[in-house]
Structure 1
Amino acid sequence: MKKLVLVSIFLALVVIILGAYTRLTDAGLGCPDWPGCYGQLLVPQSDALIERANQAFPDRPLEAEKAWNEMIHRYFASALGLLIIIIAAVSALNKRKGKDCPVKLPFLILVLVCFQGALGMWTVTLNLLPVVVMAHLLGGFTVLSCLFVLYLRLSNVNISRSDPNIKGFAKFSIIGIVLLVGQIALGGWTSANYASLACTELPICEGQWSARFDLAGAFSVPAADNYEYGVHSYAERMTMHVMHRFGAIIVFLYLVGLAISLFWKTSSGMIKRIVVLMVVVLSLQIALGISNVVYALPLIVATMHNAVAACLLLVMILLSYTMRRRF
């Protein structure tokens, strides 16, 4: 059971990375139908199938590279879904045999991954509606997080005696998770609306950005038939980008403050190691964010920015889980 969950965590992270890569290569509509691609389980390759696909979708002729990016993401997501079904079935079977095994959490993960599949379908059928795209991103992070919590529960991590010096810090780690999830959502909203390059200078934005700031417009959803490449004005996209940077500053300051406080007050070597890991991953994430601006969103850097965000969330969950287990 634990090995299955560990494999599923790795697979969920791969799906998140592939989803980011698909989005960043503008391949979200590489296949305009769902769950197949131009009516096929594989991307059409023969001349006859390509001709048939182009006739079926004259407004979106086949682009093989984008189609493969989209379908590879779907294949891995389907494999993850199948693995989670197996995990839920094994957990139910173990419980029926009287073994001490979580059942509610695997079932919750199964429900989440089914809903995640529906969001994947709506991403295509609603032509990259930003709310759905962002929800799909958050759904992926939620599934990954729940799988990690399940792994921690199955691992029965040995927690040493309580440290009274940090008794009140467990709730602050939860606040850190909430802030981080909010920042991930801001990043997803920025990416879903193609606003990642709306600001090209540091530390905030170029020009008279404050005069163009439009918070209401930035978080609106204009009516459109297709949301590919974005439908918001420059001012609205600039506001999205600026809000994401503000969020990054807030999360960075909060997590660094939490790390310093915990490191100096705790006597637990385990918690100190988790705190150091958190600072390392946080620093890497900030460096990737800055690189996205300085080097105009390189594909590998932007993709890793999503992956490291997922890793940072897992580290925060590990920290919170460890401290809550201690009390």
Structure 2
Amino acid sequence: MQNNKPLIIFTLILALGVISLGAFTRLTDAGLGCPDWPGCYGLIDVPQTETQIAKAEMAFPERPVEPAKAWNEMIHRYFAGTLGLLIGLIFILSFKNRDQGGPLYLPLLMLGVVIFQAALGAWTVTLKLMPIIVMGHLLGGFLTLCLLYLLLLRVSKVNDRSMDASLTRYTPFAFIGIVILTLQIALGGWTSSNYAALVCQELPVCHDGWMTQLTFSESFQLIPPERETYEFGHLGAAERITIHAMHRIGAMITLIYLAWLALTLFFKARSAGLKKSAAVMGLILIIQVALGVSNVVFSLPLAVAVAHNVVAALLMLALITITYSLKSRPENAYV
């Protein structure tokens, strides 16, 4: 599997690109730019000629062709499809080389996740942007990226704990950090999929009186009432304020916890590798907070909002690096 390291790195970069394109598609309201799946108005690309557009709008009269949105969606699908093929290739090569002791279960798990991701992509369209499906699709993309990165760490035989054996006691705290960050990413996905990103435009949490508007039962109802479409949201102002406020509070908890973890490991670590990983995670955390504040101050500019998604992914990878370094395992372990 060591020979496939360049392929894994390329696929990892592509996975990060797919997450970026997914965020761009979602933030440009292009999730239904193509009302069918896997094609677009029955084509493998976007309707472009007058004849194609006329036929498309006859087939889908409720969804007039918007070429810019349709291209955003189809480019995302092209890249996601390529990612799926590359993950399939990684699994095939891992299976062929299983006698060499490579980690087969990770490629198998990735293959299962990417197949389910394809189903979520289809359901995103057929269920008209139902929030739980959109959020699940986002989390599936992050999971795919994390599994690829973990596979890269495994095949690279990363083990830089020789001078930090005493810090293995912080492993559970690193795992807790992963859980907290995952929940925060899920809250971000829930905020975005319910079109609640702009309901609170003041810091640190929301406008005056936000606490009196909190309502949790409908705000976090995973299976919503059936509607013709969930595009542009189906919840009222109070529900969206609740979702956004919980995302802000979650961001504060995540900041405090990960900052504590990064600072603790930075000052206690003796190995250069672990100290560097803690410093990198701290830097990414600062950038992520700055992007979050910028989203509020500048009313969700597209570039900043996309970067907020990408940096969240990088923050998770940095946390995985630290957790992997801390986790007690035999020297030279491969899997």
TM-score of Structure 1 vs Structure 2, range by shorter chain: over 0.9
Other-structure match for 1:182: 183
Paired residues of 1:194 and 1:230 also in contact (CA < 8 A):
yes
Please name the residue that 1:145 is paired with. 146
Q: Tell me how large the CA RMSD over aligned residues is.
A: 1.1
User: Paired residue for 1:68, among 47, 67, 71?
Assistant: 71
The 3-state SS of whatever aligns with 1:216 is coil
Structure 2 distance, partners of 1:158, 1:177, is: 20
Q: Distance in 2 between matches of 1:222 and 1:232?
A: 10
User: Is the 8 Å Cα contact of residues 112 and 143 (structure 1) preserved in structure 2?
Assistant: yes
Aligned match for 2:84, one of 81, 84, 87? 81
Deviation at 1:179, TM superposition (A): 0.2
Quick check: 1:159–1:326 contact (8 Å CA) kept in 2? Answer: no
> C-alpha distance in 2, partners of 1:230/1:15?
24
Per-residue Cα deviation, 1:84-103 (whole angstroms, up to 9, x for no partner): 111000011111xx312111
Query: What is the TM-score normalised by the length of structure 1?
Result: 0.97
Alignment of 1:263-302 (within 5 A): 263-302=266-305
Distance 1:235 1:309 in 2: 27
Could you tell me which runs of 5 or more consecutive residues in structure 1 were left unpaired when the two chains were aligned.
Answer: none
1:34 aligns to 2:37 (yes or no):
yes
CA offsets per residue over residues 50-108 of structure 1, 9 Å max, x none?
0000000001010000000000000000000000111000011111xx31211111011
Counterpart position of 1:204: 205
Which 5+ residue runs of structure 2 have no aligned equivalent?
A: 331-335
Could you tell me which amino acid in structure 1 is paired with residue 128 of structure 2? Answer: N
C-alpha contact 1:165 1:266 (8 A) present in aligned 2: no
For residue 324 of structure 1, what is the aligned residue in structure 2? Answer: 327
Q: For the residues of structure 2 that align with 1:236 and 1:36, how far apart are their CA atoms?
A: 34
Alignment-derived partner of residue 333 in structure 2: none
Looking at structure 2, the residues matched to 90 and 164 of structure 1 have their Cα atoms a distance apart, in angstroms, of: 34
Superposed CA deviations along residues 209-242 of structure 1, whole A, max 9, x for unmatched, are 0111112221122331200000000000011000
Amino acid at match of 2:47: P
CA distance in structure 2 between the aligned counterparts of 1:187 and 1:323, rounded to whole angstroms: 28
Equivalence for 2:132:
131
Q: CA deviation at 1:167?
A: 2.7
CA contact (8 A) 2:160 2:274 kept: no
Post-superposition CA distance 1:19-47 (Å, at most 9, x none): 00000000000000000000000101111
Q: In 2, distance between residues paired with 1:158 and 1:272? A: 14
Runs of 4+ in 1 over 3 A off after TM superposition: none
Task: Check conservation: 1:161, 1:326, Cα contact below 8 A.
Answer: no
Distance 1:264 1:215 in 2: 40
What is the rounded CA distance, in whole Å, between the counterparts of 1:234 and 1:83 in structure 2?
A: 43
SS of 1:217 mapped into structure 2: coil
- Within 5 A, what are the aligned runs for 1:165-244? 165-220=166-221, 221-244=224-247
Percentage identity across paired residues of the two chains: 52
* Cα distance in structure 1, aligned partners of 2:242 and 2:233: 14
In the other structure, the counterpart of 1:17 is 20
**Residue of structure 1 in register with 2:97 after alignment:** 94
- SS of the aligned residue for 2:97 comes to helix
> CA–CA distance in 1 between the matches of 2:168 and 2:104?
30
SS in 1 for 2:197: coil
- Cross-structure match for 2:255: 252
SS in 2 for 1:68: helix
77-86 or 98-107, which deviates more: 98-107
Letter in 2 for 1:116: Q
The reply on whether 1:308 has 2:311 as its aligned counterpart is yes
Specify the code of the residue in structure 2 equivalent to 1:308: V
Residues of 1 paired with 2:35 and 2:141: CA distance?
A: 21
